[in-house]
Amino acid sequence: MNEEAQNHKLISSANLENDLRPGSLREKAAKLRSEAQDLFRHARESGECPDKAQIQAINSHAKRLEVEALRLEDKSPRLVGESYHEEYRNRPDQFQGQSMISRIEDGLYLSGYDVLQHETILRSCSISHILSICQFYLPSAEQQKTYTCKAIPALDTGDQNLLQYFSECVKFIDEARSANGRLLIHCHAGQSRSVTILAAYLMQRDRIGVRSALDKIRAIREVQPNDNFMNQLRLFKDCDYQLTEDNVQYRRWKFETMHKDKSAQSGTSTSEEQVPQHPDYQENDLDTKYTQIRCKKCRYVLASEKHIIAHEPKVTTEQPESQQSSLLPASCAHFFLEPIRWMKSELDKGQVDGRFTCPSARCGAKIGSYAWQGTTCSCRRWVLPALCIQRSKVDEMKSKTPAKVEPARKS
């Protein structure tokens, strides 16, 4: 059977009703890829193991349709085979921005998973390192022996935290380039996840914004990270390309992410990486400027001023002279806080709401409460989510230095 007959057999097997228009083929391919994503998402949500063979078969079928669409437009050889590789070696720029591989700059390439199925392309580009940003669709066992590989288990979804991997990915890219290697970054389609990681690298290296980084990539390849990843890139820029627990914006974002997880799932435990450690004890010194929140009964340090989530009171009252230096407005009866390490045992119960007690072994006094669905402050302002301690149960004390909160250690 000749090449064209084989190709038409593949297309007819997709039940295309003889509609071989390029636009129609791409639309059907997109539906197949969406179907594969839905299968994976459904398996994930139901706690089952995804049928990798079925998902890969669907995506392979979608790829055949995309190849046929290119053939009909006379922009690609009839099948992705040796003829494609010969064309690529002779005219690599002709293929920039299409569905296979894109050279963003010297030694830095971007693609979808399909390139991994064609060793000739990898050899033509002298690829030495492969960074995979996907749950499945990874380099083969043989490729992992040939290339220096790193895999990031990420999905192209609205709730995927890709930000947590920025630092290690940037480090891997830097190491590859320092060794004069040629790096390929890929996800499934080379449109969203891999682009987000590449953009983060360019942003940190060149000290540029999200739009500038994406414009540089879009000059070579048509890409579009999802809205969730775009927001994470903006946060990365706002944090000056450094994601540390000292950065208030980053901590607040993690808190909001935790809230979404809690709202979507019940009975789940709190990640160690989401909850900062308990603040260090500091000596009391009423003449110094840093404020700590301590249990009124046992003096245990519960938080510092940087862990307080401020809100604008809906109803204001005049601050008594005795509370002029307080961190709270007079109309507020609660300190609303970020998650802190000592809260973890309570939050791990997976409840929508509950109460906080002093973590000191010799105390245990009731000091506050939490409600992931939110609660109303005494100033009538709605706060969502709400992790709070009662103003009447604690004292505000001064310290020589601010209380330190470090990232929680992995168990």
Q: Which residues are catalytic?
A: 187
The CA–CA distances, whole Å, from 253 to 39, 257, 376, 381 equal 29, 6, 21, 21
Phi then psi for residue 336, to 5 deg, are -95, 125
Radius of gyration of the chain (CA): 27
141: left (phi over 0), alpha (psi -120 to 50) or beta: alpha
Q: Is cis: bond before 22, omega within 30 of 0?
A: no
Q: Are 229 and 165 in contact (CB under 8 A)?
A: no
The CA–CA distances, whole Å, from 164 to 106, 152, 159, 232 equal 27, 10, 13, 10
DSSP 265: -
Render 239-256 in DSSP notation, one character per residue: TTT---TT-HHHHHHHHH
DSSP 308: B
If you search the block for the tokens 């509609």, which residue do you land on?
19
DSSP collapsed to 3 states, 150-198? EEECCCCCCCCCCHHHHHHHHHHHHHHHHCCCCEEEECCCCCCHHHHHH
Q: Minimal CA–CA distance to 295: which of 268, 261, 326, 335?
A: 335
